[in-house]
Every structure is written in C-alpha cells, then in structure tokens.
Homo-oligomer: A and B are copies of this chain.
Amino acid sequence: MTRRIPQARDRGIPDATVARLPLYLRALNGMAERGVATVSSEDLALAAGVNSAKLRKDLSHLGSYGTRGVGYDVQYLIYQISRELGLTQDWAVAIVGVGNLGRALANYGGFATRGFRIAGLLDADPQVVGERIAGLVVEHADELESVIKKRGVSIVVIATPATAAQQVCDRVIAAGVTSILNFAPVVLAVPDGVDVRKVDLSIELQILAFHEQRKANGGPIMAEEWPDGVVM
C-alpha cells in the first residue's frame, strides 16, 4: 500500500541525476548568454556546484555528448538536457489556493521562461475569485475539474491551507493529473503513478536550526532527561 515510486528507472536515469539536470541547464544557459561555445566538465561542475566526475557520469546517462580533449558544446548540451527534461514542450500549470504564497507564485516571471505556463488560478474564497492577478482571473475552486480538462493542465501546484490540501489533491488526481507540487505542510496520500514533490519551508528551517545548534554547542548538550517540572 505504501509502495514507493521507483519512477524514472524506466530506461535508466537515476533520480539523483534528474534532480541535478536543471542545475546544469541553468549554468549552461548563463554560459550561453555570455557567448561561451564549449565547456569542460570541470568548469561546468564548478558553476553548478558539484564534483566534475559526478557531472560527467550524470551526462553520460543522457548519451555521449562530449568531445574528449575539448568538452561539451554548450548549445547542444542545452538542447539535449532540455529534451530529456521535457522542456521542449510547454506545460500548463494550475495554482490552487491564491493566498500569500499562491499570489507570489502567480506573479513570478521565472516559470514562463522555462516553459511552464500558468493556465489557471483557483481559490475557494468568493472574495478572491474574480480578482485579476498576473493577467489571469482567479476562478472558483468548483471549476477545478473543468479548468484542468479544458486547458490541458498537467501539473498542479497546491498552495491551500493544510486542511484543504488532501481534498484538493484527491480532486485533481480524479481529474487525471499525475504531477503535483505541494506547499501545504501535510503528507499527501496518492495512488501509485502520481508524483508529488513537496516544498516545506518549515522543515528547511528546522534542519538549519539543527545544524546551527550543533555549531553553537560543540556537540549536543548532555541533558538527555526532561527539564524540571515536566512530567511524563
């Protein structure tokens, strides 16, 4: 029942590699803008913040696109990575929950530039519905299924309160969506074949706090027991 998604093993690209390809792509685009024609694995790795051997192995999963003694052709590699990631086509994205976060996402220009087109904004609050944000009119959450089907939405961003997230999730999956980006602090239950990626800012801060504490104390304090006054 709680089977994990082995995904991406289809014809072989490791998940860890897939997660880094966008990083390489970004570095390559920066180089292309600066007119760089070819780049060595060493330089590209530096720009992407990874080990050069890892970079080469990652790229080798896509094919043999480098030239020994020279490096990689920047434009060609951009094309190959884009194709592998599916960025040569446009993706219609819907944002459900147009509050603080949903608004920020809708107003953000950085998505369209990578082939992610915001095709719908949905909210349950009548006060928000009808509002115009970034050239789109917010629609009522009741229209969810119809918006998804009508506009060919294949990726849904959930930015509702945690309490509504699972319900929204169930509905978009029923409507045929299999890719979800979740900002609500809940573990979404989804059937096999559906990909959920979560962005959880509280968790990130808590991980930072852990390391920060470790840095402050030279190791964990030896107060393993309950503090005074706390009963078990």
Interface residues of A (CB under 8 A from B): 2, 7-8, 10-11, 18-19, 21-23, 25-27, 46-49, 51, 63, 73, 75-76, 79, 83-87, 89, 91, 93, 100-101, 103-105, 107-108, 110-111, 114-116, 154-155, 178-181, 185, 187, 189, 193, 195, 197, 199-215, 219-220, 223-224, 226, 230, 232
| Contact call B212/A86, Cβ cutoff below 8 A | yes
| Contact call B209/A155, Cβ cutoff below 8 A | yes
The interface residues of chain B lying within 8 Å CB-to-CB of A224 are: 63
Do A155 and B86 form a contact, CB below 8 Å, given A73-B232, A185-B26, A226-B79? no
The interface residues of chain B lying within 8 Å CB-to-CB of A23 are: 187, 203
The interface residues of chain B lying within 8 Å CB-to-CB of A232 are: 73, 75-76
The interface residues of chain B lying within 8 Å CB-to-CB of A154 are: 212
| Contact call A215/B202, Cβ cutoff below 8 A | no
The interface residues of chain B lying within 8 Å CB-to-CB of A209 are: 85-87, 91, 115-116, 155, 179
Given contacts A25-B206, A91-B212, 6 further A-B contacts (CB under 8 A): A21-B210, A85-B206, A85-B210, A86-B212, A115-B209, A155-B209
Complex Cα gap A178–B232 (Å): 36
A94 to chain B minimum Cβ distance, whole angstroms, is: 12
| Contact call B202/A110, Cβ cutoff below 8 A | yes
| Contact call B91/A219, Cβ cutoff below 8 A | no
The interface residues of chain B lying within 8 Å CB-to-CB of A200 are: 22
The interface residues of chain B lying within 8 Å CB-to-CB of A7 are: 211, 214
The interface residues of chain B lying within 8 Å CB-to-CB of A93 are: 205
| Contact call A220/B84, Cβ cutoff below 8 A | yes
A14 to chain B minimum Cβ distance, whole angstroms, is: 12
The interface residues of chain B lying within 8 Å CB-to-CB of A75 are: 232
The interface residues of chain B lying within 8 Å CB-to-CB of A76 are: 226, 232
- Nearest to A200 among chain B residues (CB) is B22
Which of A19, A104, A219 is most buried by chain B, counting CB atoms within 10 A of its CB?
A: A104
- Nearest to A154 among chain B residues (CB) is B212
Complex Cα gap A189–B206 (Å): 22
- Nearest to A232 among chain B residues (CB) is B76
The interface residues of chain B lying within 8 Å CB-to-CB of A111 are: 201-202, 205
